[in-house]
Structures are given as C-alpha cells and as structure tokens.
Structure 1
Amino acid sequence: MDQNTYSPGLHKLVTLQVENIDLLMNSSSFIVFSEKVIQEFELEKVGIITHNFENNSFTIAICLKESHICIHTWPEFKQLTLDVYLCNYLQDNTQKVKSITNAFINYFNAVVLKDFEINR
C-alpha cells in the first residue's frame, strides 16, 4: 500500500508575554513590520483585515497566497496570541514558518508562554 508523504505545512501557534504594552496597542506599527516580514520571506499578501478595539488592543488577519498570519493582543494582560501557517504546495516551508514566528517574537521582545506546532 502506497502512503502519501505529502504534508500540507507547519502551523505555529504561540502565546507571548510582552512588557512594552505600546506594541500591543499599535496596529499600524505591527502592519508595517509585517509588510517587511512578508517581503523578506517572499510571501504574497492577498489581503489584510484589522480591527482595533476600544482599549486599543487589536486583531489582524493577513491572508497570504501561502495561507495566513493572525494576531490578537491583550494589553491589559501584556499578552498576545500569534498564528503563522504556510502551506507546502511547491516547497517545504517549515523553517520559514519558524523563522517568521521568531521575527515576531523578536519584534515584541517577548517571552514565549505557549508554543504549539501542528504538522498538518
């Protein structure tokens, strides 16, 4: 029996602790940084949706040709959740997902509270 060895991709889900709550309340700066990440890793942005809440926290979903990057911030708890998933249609993007996640961790100068990897 032949087994299909195709793997759709790595999905990283992290919860981060951030001391500088200004970063958790500035969706514009996050978008600017995300655009740089998208260029650096040669991804193709399809669209972006931003919602800013009354307390200046934000939710952003960046739809990519390769899949997505999503963030939800909670400045009142000094935390955020980040979701990075790239499909492996033409190449293995596993290391790229890990590198992108690390770029965001560095941007926020964050401590990782939870780190999940799902091989889809």
Structure 2
Amino acid sequence: MEKPNNLLGIHQLLTLQVLKSDKLTDLANFIAFTDQLLLKNELDKVGNTSHVFDNGSFTIAYCLKESHICIHTWPEILTLTMDIYLCNYSQDNSKKVRMLANDFISYFDAKIIKQIEVER
C-alpha cells in the first residue's frame, strides 16, 4: 500500500451545542459509544483517562496509536468541545476523522457552532 502524501494527518476541532444536557453528564455511555466507534473504525486505543466534575460534566482523553480524541462538556451551557486527530502514518485516516466527527455530532444530537479542520 502506498503511503499518503500527508503523513501527519487531519485534526478536527469542534464546538457543539446540544438541546438536552443528559449526554453531557453521562460519561459511561460516552465511553461505551466511543469504544464501539474505535472498533468499527479499526483504531487502536492505548488508554483513556477521565474526570467527572461536581456538576456531572466530564472531560476525557483517549490516547490512540494513531493519536487522540478529547472532549470537555459544559451541561450548564449545553455545549461541548472536542478534538479528533489521527495521523496517516500507517494508512490515510482522513475519512475516519470526518466520519468520527459526524458520528459524535449525531450521538450528541448536536448543532455545529464551530468546526475547524487542520491539515497537520
């Protein structure tokens, strides 16, 4: 297989607004959903670490062999921020970054406030 031109890959930065705060305070379901997405997209999880705040909001970082996924939730303002970065070293993961972003937007039933894509 030929390696892609951009080995450093694509990084998406998202700010999303939701209608209901329930998923912004449900870390367990977010982890289950994300783990399924990683399996579906054949991405390798190195590990993850998280913290739940007093108001139920959470922050979590997934370390992947391909790079990372991070999220921070703010239920009090119905908002979350997320970044998804996959390198292209072993294969072109550009489509996967975009698919993951769309899957997370659907999961949260969210409206895009800001979506920035950076070619690394």
Stretches of structure 1 that go unaligned for 5 or more consecutive residues are: none
Matched to 1:80, the amino acid is: L
1:51 is paired with a residue whose SS is strand
Q: Does 1:103 align with 2:103?
A: yes
Separation (CA, whole Å) in 2 of partners of 1:79 and 1:35: 22
1:38-82, Cα deviation, whole Å (9 max, x unpaired) = 000000000000100001000000000000000000000000001
The equivalent residue for 1:14 is: 14
Separation (CA, whole Å) in 2 of partners of 1:75 and 1:6: 37
CA contact (8 A) 1:10 1:119 kept: yes
Matched to 2:22, the amino acid is: D
Cα deviation, residue 108, structure 1: 0.4
Cα deviation, residue 19, structure 1: 1.0
Q: Does 1:57 align with 2:57?
A: yes
Separation (CA, whole Å) in 2 of partners of 1:46 and 1:73: 22
Identity over the aligned pairs, expressed in percent?
53
Q: Does 1:46 align with 2:70?
A: no
Aligned residues: CA RMSD: 0.8
- Normalised TM-score (structure 2): 0.94
The equivalent residue for 2:34 is: 34
Matched to 2:79, the amino acid is: Q
Which 4+ residue blocks in structure 1 deviate beyond 3 angstroms?
A: none
Separation (CA, whole Å) in 1 of partners of 2:93 and 2:38: 14
Separation (CA, whole Å) in 2 of partners of 1:34 and 1:7: 24
Cα deviation, residue 20, structure 1: 1.6
1:8 is paired with a residue whose SS is coil
The equivalent residue for 2:82 is: 82
The structure whose Rg is larger is 1
Matched to 2:77, the amino acid is: F
Q: How many residues align?
A: 116
- Normalised TM-score (structure 1): 0.94
Cα deviation, residue 6, structure 1: 3.7
